[in-house]
């Protein structure tokens, strides 16, 4: 299993500190455990920003960076060692472990943060923190500032400027390193195998959740602790519900099955959608719409290269889909006008993709200075056009109704184009049919 090296975590902190003002401090809180009921917690997942900067996966941590501080620039507040609790809940690194195992210059028990952190903030002119994300943390930050303000008559200098750290941090996270891409490739490969497994397992009469189980089984066998997001398994008209996660319907003969699922590996997401016929054979109308979505996806992937904007893939998809919908008689009129009036929106109502990384809808601005962002090597994004013909849409011929199709791949921008991380799972209609009908029975 691939992991981010300690050297890379250190490099990330250095690069962030290089961008911070001199005389500033960054304070980044980690995630806290949330109670499911009584003494049962939801599975804990570290906040992606803290994970990105430290690799530290325990609850109740706060990461502090103080560029230029002679006694140490990188400080962690962590849960203290507790032999009694460790019998129940497992190992805690404690402050000593935070230094020895996570390279902190200094570390303190989280219970002492109110006594120690104001002293570290004192004399720093600017504080960077994630602002407006967690009310309790925003409030606590002001409590610490006010502790310093209450001592101005003794010469204490409280910080005067407050900045959202997200802009700096998210720009770093947007461009993936070699190590990150290697992990994302691993996640994508596992998810691709899982999608193939679901296609092979599918039969009319099965329940949607049984295909979800096939996907999650394959991912967990490969070491994924949890999905990157709740799996969508929609058969028939359920495929037209964009965020359908009930996954509790019976799959009928003649249905298309839309599966949008991906595993997380080492805190990196994969995000794949495939749509396939439950019985292994596309009907004629299904095939016509499927080939149209696929053509739009190929055209969009062709647009993913340095120098092109993020939105160009979306605009390409819209044009290909509108031209195809006119050809099929689902839309009527002038292509440019239909695009301008967004007449395709009843059938394609989302954008073509999003940044992908530690979060499935990853951080990073889509516009910079009011202009759509230009693609650069190392960015990872999804390309996921779709067509969803509502079963209730009386404006289209009956044969199209209730068909929902999305095809989604994960691509990394390279120096001269892009690399498809999720290429292992078939998407040509004939390749899907061949896989489902025994033409290629192995998962590998
Ligand atoms: N699975 C969420 C998405 O495709 O954006
Ligand atoms: Mn998806
Ligand atoms: Mn997606």
State if residue 360 touches ligand 1 by the CB under 6 angstroms criterion. yes
Give residue 343's pLDDT. Answer: 98
Ligand 1: nearest atom to the Cα of 353: 5
Per-residue pLDDT of the chain (444 residues; tens, 9 = 90+): 899 999 999 999 999 999 999 999 999 999 999 999 999 999 999 999 999 999 999 999 999 999 999 999 999 999 999 999 999 999 999 999 999 999 999 999 999 999 999 999 999 999 999 999 999 999 999 999 999 999 999 999 999 999 999 989 999 999 999 999 999 999 999 999 999 999 999 999 999 999 999 999 999 999 999 999 999 999 999 999 999 999 999 999 999 999 999 999 999 999 999 999 999 999 999 999 999 999 999 999 999 999 999 999 999 999 999 999 999 999 999 999 999 999 999 999 999 999 999 999 999 999 999 999 999 999 999 999 999 999 999 999 999 999 999 999 999 999 999 999 999 999 999 999 999 999 765 555
For every residue of 310-349, DSSP letters joined together read: HHHHHHHHHHHHHHHHHHTTSS-S-HHHHHHTTTTTTT--
Give residue 444's pLDDT. Answer: 53
State if residue 259 touches ligand 1 by the CB under 6 angstroms criterion. no
Give residue 1's pLDDT. Answer: 84
Give residue 273's pLDDT. Answer: 98
Give the residue, by CA position, lying nearest to ligand 1 atom 4: 271
Which two three-digit tokens encode residue 92?
């805690």
The candidate with the shortest Cα–Cα distance to 168, out of 365, 373, 357, is: 365
Domain 175-436 of CATH type 3.30.1490.20: no
Give residue 443's pLDDT. Answer: 56
Domain 6-173 and domain 175-436, same fold? Reply is: no
> What does the alpha-carbon distance between residue 308 and residue 312 come to, in Å, rounded to a whole number?
7
Q: What angle (nearest 5°) sits at the alpha carbon of residue 343, between those of residues 339 and 347? A: 115
State if residue 260 touches ligand 1 by the CB under 6 angstroms criterion. yes
Q: What class, spelled out in words, does domain 6-173 have in CATH?
A: alpha beta
Give the residue, by CA position, lying nearest to ligand 1 atom 3: 271
Report domain extents, the chain.
6-173, 175-436
User: Which are the catalytic amino acids?
Assistant: 39, 243, 260, 271, 350, 354, 361, 384, 388, 406, 408
Shortest-distance ligand to the CA of residue 353: 3
> What does the alpha-carbon distance between residue 128 and residue 63 come to, in Å, rounded to a whole number?
12
Sign of CA dihedral 310, 315, 318, 319: negative
State if residue 214 touches ligand 1 by the CB under 6 angstroms criterion. no
Task: Quote the ligand 1 centre to 162 CA distance (angstroms).
Answer: 33
């Amino acid at each position: 299993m691939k992991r981010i090296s300690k050297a890379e975590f250190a490099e990330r902190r250095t690069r962030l500190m290089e961008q911070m003002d001199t005389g500033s401090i960054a304070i980044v809180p980690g995630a806290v455990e949330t109670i499911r009921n009584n003494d049962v917690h939801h599975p804990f997942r570290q906040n992606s920003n803290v994970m990105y900067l430290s690799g530290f996966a325990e609850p109740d941590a706060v990461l502090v960076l103080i560029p230029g501080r002679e006694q140490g620039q990188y400080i962690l507040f962590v849960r203290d060692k507790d032999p009694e609790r460790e019998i129940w809940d497992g190992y805690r690194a404690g402050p000593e472990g935070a230094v020895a195992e996570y390279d902190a210059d200094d570390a303190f028990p989280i219970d002492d943060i109110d006594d120690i952190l104001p002293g570290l903030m004192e004399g720093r002119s600017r504080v960077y923190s994630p602002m407006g994300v967690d009310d309790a943390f925003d409030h606590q930050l002001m409590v610490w500032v006010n502790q310093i303000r209450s001592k101005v008559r003794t010469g204490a200098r409280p910080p005067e400027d407050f900045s959202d750290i997200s802009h700096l941090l998210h720009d770093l996270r947007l461009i993936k390193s070699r190590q990150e891409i290697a992990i994302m490739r691993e996640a994508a490969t596992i998810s691709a195998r899982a999608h193939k497994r679901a296609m092979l397992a599918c039969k009319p009469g099965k329940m949607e959740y049984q295909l979800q189980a096939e996907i999650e089984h394959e991912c967990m066998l490969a070491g994924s602790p949890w999905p990157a997001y709740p799996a969508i398994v929609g058969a028939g008209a359920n495929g037209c519900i964009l965020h359908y996660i009930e996954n509790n319907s019976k799959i009928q003969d003649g249905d298309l099955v839309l599966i949008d699922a991906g595993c997380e590996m080492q805190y990196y997401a994969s995000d794949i959608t495939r749509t396939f016929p439950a019985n292994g054979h596309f009907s004629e109308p299904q095939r016509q719409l499927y080939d149209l979505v696929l053509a739009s996806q190929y055209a969009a992937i062709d647009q993913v290269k340095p120098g092109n904007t993020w939105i160009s893939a979306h605009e390409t998809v819209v044009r290909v889909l509108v031209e195809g919908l006119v050809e099929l008689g689902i839309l009527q009129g002038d292509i440019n006008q239909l695009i301008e009036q967004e007449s395709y929106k009843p059938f394609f109502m989302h954008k073509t993709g999003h940044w992908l990384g530690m979060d499935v809808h990853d951080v990073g601005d889509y516009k910079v200075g009011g202009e759509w962002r230009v693609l650069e090597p190392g960015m990872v994004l999804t390309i996921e056009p779709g067509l969803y013909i509502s079963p209730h849409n009386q404006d289209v011929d009956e044969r199209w109704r209730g068909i929902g199709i999305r095809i989604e791949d994960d691509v990394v921008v390279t120096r001269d184009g892009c690399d498809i991380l999720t290429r292992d799972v078939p998407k040509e209609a004939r390749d899907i049919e061949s896989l489902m009908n025994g033409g290629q029975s192995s998962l590998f």
